[in-house]
Amino acid sequence: MADTSSARAQILGGIRKALGSVEGSEDARKRLAVHPRNLVPARAQLQHADQVELFTRMATEVAATVERLPGLSDVPRAVAEYLAGLNLPAEIRVAPDADLDAIPWDQRPTLTVSKGRARDSDGASVTGAFAGVAETGSLMLLSGTERPTTLNFLPDTHIVVLKRSQVVGTMEDAWDRLRGLGVAGTMPRTVNFITGPSRTGDIEMRIELGAHGPRRLHILLVED
C-alpha cells in the first residue's frame, strides 16, 4: 500500500496554518467525549404509546406495511399469510439471530425456513431490528455474527420483526440505546436505517419502488 504520510503531514499542516492552531483544540476533544445532542424536533417527544403510533404512521407513509401481532408465536402465521396474499413462494431466509429463536417456525410446516446470509436466489428474508425510529418510521438494523446485512438488501421482500419496546422517538434515542450496549466506542460494521422499500426517481422523476433493494418492506410489530 502506498505511503501517504507526507500527504497527511502536508494536509494537516496546511489546515493548522490556516486555522492558526498548533495541536488541535480542547473544544473539539470535549465534543467528542460528551457528544451533546443538538436540537431534537418535538415531533417524536411523546409517550411511548404515541411513539408507536407515530412510527406506524410514518412507516406506512413511505410505503412500508405494518402488521401488529400479540406475540412472537404469531410470526409464522403472519409471514405465511403475508407471502400467500402476494402469491409469493412460502420460502424464507431467516437471520440466525438468537432474538428470533423463540419464533415457533415448525407450527407452519408449509413454510420453508432456512438460516444464514442471503443468497441470490432468496426471494424473502426475515430479520430482527435493533430499534424503530418513530420520527421517520425508520428501522435500525445492526450487522453482526447473527445478523448478516445481505438479508436487508438482496431479497425482493424484506420482513422485519420489531418488538414494541424497541420503538424509540428519534435517531438520538437509538444512539443512546446502542451506546448502552456497553461496547464502548465500537460500532457494528454496518448500521442500517431503513425507511421504506428501495426506490428511485431517476427516470423522469417518477418514484418507483424496488430499485436495487427490496420492493416490499413488511414490519411485524410485536407486543412484548
Partner 1 sequence: MEPTTHAFPENARKALSDERLQKVLAIAPAGFVNRRKQAADRLPEFEALRDQGRDLKNHVLANLDTYLEAFESKVTEQGGHVHWCRTDQEARDAILGICRAANAKTVTKGKSMVSEEIGINDYLEANGLTPIETDLGEYIIQLRHEPPSHIIAPAFHLSKKDVEGTFRQAHTDLPPDRVLDDPKVLIAEARTVLRRKFQQADVGITGANLMIAETGSTVIVTNEGNGDLTQILPRVHVVIASIEKIVPTLEDAALVLRLLARSATGQEASAYTTFSTGPRRPGDLDGPEEFHVVLLDNGRSALLGTEFQEVLRCIRCGACMNHCPVYGAVGGHAYGWVYPGPIGSVIQPALLGVKEAGHLPNASTFCGRCEAVCPMRIPLPKMMRHWREKEFEEGLQPAAMRKGLGLWAWFARRPALYHAATRMAIRALGALGRGKGRFAALPLAQGWTKHRDMPAPEGKTFQQMWAEQKGKR
Element (H, E) at 78: helix 75-85
Q: How do strand 65-69 and strand 208-209 relate by DSSP bridges?
A: unpaired
Q: How far is the CB of 71 from partner 1 (least distance, A)?
A: 28
The answer to whether residues 69 and 221 touch, using CB atoms and an 8 Å cutoff, is yes
Q: How far is CA 60 from the centre of its chain?
A: 16
When the beta carbons of 52 and 194 are compared against partner 1, the nearer one is 194
DSSP 92: E
**132 — phi, psi (to 5°)?**
-120, 130
Nearer of residues 46 and 62 to partner 1, judged by Cβ: 62
Q: In this complex, which beta carbon is closest to partner 1, that of residue 67 or of residue 146?
A: 146
In the complex with partner 1, the residue whose CB is nearer, 91 or 172, is 172
* Smaller CB separation from partner 1, 16 or 48: 16
Task: Indicate the residue type of 17.
Answer: K
Q: How far is the CB of 105 from partner 1 (least distance, A)?
A: 19
Grid coordinates representing 108 are 407452519
Bridge-based pairing state of the strands 131-133 and 199-200:
unpaired
Q: How many CB atoms lie within 10 A of CB 151?
A: 29
Question: What is the smallest separation between the CB atom of 55 and partner 1, expressed in angstroms?
Answer: 12
Give whole-number Cα distances, 115 to 97, 125, 158, 218, 222, in Å.
9, 9, 14, 19, 21
Q: Residue 207 CB, nearest distance to partner 1 (Å)?
A: 9
46 or 69: whose CB is closer to partner 1?
Answer: 46
Which residue, 139, 133, 161, 141, is CA-closest to 46?
133
CB 53, min distance to partner 1, A: 16
| Cβ 4 to partner 1 shortest distance, Å | 4
